[in-house]
């Protein structure tokens, strides 16, 4: 594996999305639309704006629908002429991005760490980006990558400050040293989900039942190998229908902070 500029993103897209079951009953949460495109597409466009074109997507719940979406991506994004007699399709005004997308079935009930470990063989660089398939941000991916390379940490995690309903992280400078439940009377820095990981993290993920946010991150923080990249601008997960409607309203009003393309 080389040490050149990071070219790959691992996207976790296999969860059940139970807190937004109004829509996830019929499709995986990463395929829920913001505007006319799935939130997964929006995340990929953020990375694409920084020159990242290779994506490894960890599938689980209703993963075949994500496969079908990208298999038919040119059909979604182009005008077409369909020749029924010849069973042929001619594409016009193709607006598809030049992406390379690897879709990996990582198991229905595999935990987040296990999903990451299952795609090890598809990662070609010594470092890779990783994020969840259900959160949007205007995080500066280039700056995140630079800090990771300069720091020497095995993992750099984007730390954000949202409304105080999440667990918080404890810091010493830009080192993450521990985790705690939602602070009383304050809004702490939390896991914002945009990571840079060194290939060595595969060795600290035990199996399918390993939760990335538990043993691996706690091990890294205890050994001073987990850095924090602070992002105080826009960040929003899509855990509930209310949050989905909020993101869609921003998009429809042409006021989406993550739309950097």
Tens of pLDDT, residue by residue over 100-110, are 999 999 999 99
Establish if 96 belongs to a structural domain: yes
Establish if 219 belongs to a structural domain: yes
Under the banding of pLDDT at 50, 70 and 90, the label for residue 162 is confident
Q: Which range marks the domain in which residue 144 is found?
A: 8-252
Establish if 1 belongs to a structural domain: no
User: Does the pLDDT of residue 92 top 80, yes or no?
Assistant: yes
Alpha-helical segments (H) within 178-252:
215-222, 241-252
Establish if 258 belongs to a structural domain: no
Under the banding of pLDDT at 50, 70 and 90, the label for residue 24 is confident
| Spacing of C-alpha 173 from chain mean position | 26
Quickly count: other Cβ atoms within 10 Å of residue 243's Cβ.
17
Q: Please compute the mean of the pLDDT values over residues 43-65 and round it to a whole number.
A: 97
Under the banding of pLDDT at 50, 70 and 90, the label for residue 163 is low
CATH number at residue 192: 3.90.550.10
- Quick check: helix, strand or coil at residue 77? helix
State the total domains in the chain: 1
- Quick check: helix, strand or coil at residue 160? strand
Establish if 68 belongs to a structural domain: yes
Question: CB under 8 Å to 113, separation ≥6 — which residues?
Answer: 205, 206, 210, 211, 212, 214, 215, 216
Establish if 3 belongs to a structural domain: no
Strand-strand pairing, 88-92 and 79-83: antiparallel
Mean pLDDT estimate for the chain: 93
Establish if 257 belongs to a structural domain: no
Residues of the chain above pLDDT 70, percent = 94
For 236-259, the pLDDT digits (tens) are 999 999 999 999 999 999 999 999
Question: CB under 8 Å to 205, separation ≥6 — which residues?
Answer: 113, 114, 116, 117, 212, 216
d(CA 63, CA 109): 12
Under the banding of pLDDT at 50, 70 and 90, the label for residue 1 is very low
Element (H, E) at 151: helix 141-151
Establish if 67 belongs to a structural domain: yes
């Amino acid at each position: 594996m080389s040490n050149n500029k990071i070219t790959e993103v691992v996207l976790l897209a296999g969860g059940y999305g139970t807190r937004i079951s109004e829509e996830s009953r019929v499709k995986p949460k990463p395929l829920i639309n913001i505007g006319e495109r799935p939130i997964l597409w929006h995340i990929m466009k953020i990375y694409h704006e920084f020159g990242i074109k290779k994506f490894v997507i960890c599938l689980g719940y209703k993963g075949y629908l994500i496969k079908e979406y990208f298999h038919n991506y040119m059909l979604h994004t182009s005008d077409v002429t369909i020749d029924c007699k010849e069973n042929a399709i001619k594409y016009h005004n193709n607006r598809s991005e030049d992406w390379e997308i690897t879709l990996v079935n990582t198991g229905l009930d595999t935990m987040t760490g296990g999903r990451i470990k299952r795609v090890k063989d598809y990662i070609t660089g010594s470092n890779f980006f990783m994020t969840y398939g259900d959160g949007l941000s205007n995080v500066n991916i280039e700056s995140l990558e630079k800090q990771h390379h300069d720091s020497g940490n095995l993992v750099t995690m984007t730390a954000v400050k949202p409304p105080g309903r999440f667990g918080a992280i404890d810091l010493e400078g830009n080192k993450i040293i521990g985790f705690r439940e939602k602070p009383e009377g304050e809004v702490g820095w939390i896991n914002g989900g945009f990571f840079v990981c060194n290939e060595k993290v595969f060795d600290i993920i035990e199996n399918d039942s390993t939760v990335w946010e538990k043993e691996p991150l706690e091990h890294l923080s205890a050994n001073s190998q987990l850095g924090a990249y602070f992002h105080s601008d826009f960040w929003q997960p899509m855990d509930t229908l209310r949050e989905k409607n909020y993101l869609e309203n921003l998009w429809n009003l042409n006021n989406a902070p993550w739309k950097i393309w």
